[in-house]
Amino acid sequence: MVRDEPLPPGVPKSTLRFYLDDNADAFADFDAVSTALWQPDRTVRLVGMKGELTRPLLRDLLRLLQAKGVELIHAKRAGKHSLPLGRLLPNGDTELVVADLVKRFL
């Protein structure tokens, strides 16, 4: 099956590929992947998350988000998956404050 999930038009987006190996080349198998929708209000919405974010990978993500000036993360996780230190929003998303995560993990 193929499911086509169009991304919002006009929203800057990128694919985040996570590698435990800091020297992985562009064609290496990734350990986790997500699509980032970069919102204009210093918020990133992470969708299509797959794989396991280890603490070292989470730290790398936080450093990237800090460098981009991101203050909030919005994400929706399926089933048994959860996001640390997040608060549930009415639309079912979890919101995370980057500064809180930085204090805890960096």
Residue ranges per domain, the chain?
13-105
Chain segment 1-43, per-residue pLDDT in tens: 767 778 888 889 999 999 999 999 988 999 999 999 999 999 9
At residue 84, the pLDDT reads: 72
Q: How far apart are CA 86 and CA 106, in angstroms?
A: 17
86 dihedral zone (left: phi>0; alpha: psi -120 to 50; beta): beta
Q: What is the largest CA-CA distance in the chain?
A: 42
With a cut of 80, say whether residue 77 has pLDDT above it: no
CATH of domain 13-105: 3.40.630
CB-CB contact of 101 with 95 (8 Å): no
Q: Is 77 exposed, middle or buried (0-12, 13-18, 19+ CB in 10 A)?
A: middle
Strands 94-97 and 43-51, bridge-based pairing: unpaired
With a cut of 90, say whether residue 73 has pLDDT above it: yes
CB-CB contact of 98 with 74 (8 Å): no
Average pLDDT over residues 56-76: 94
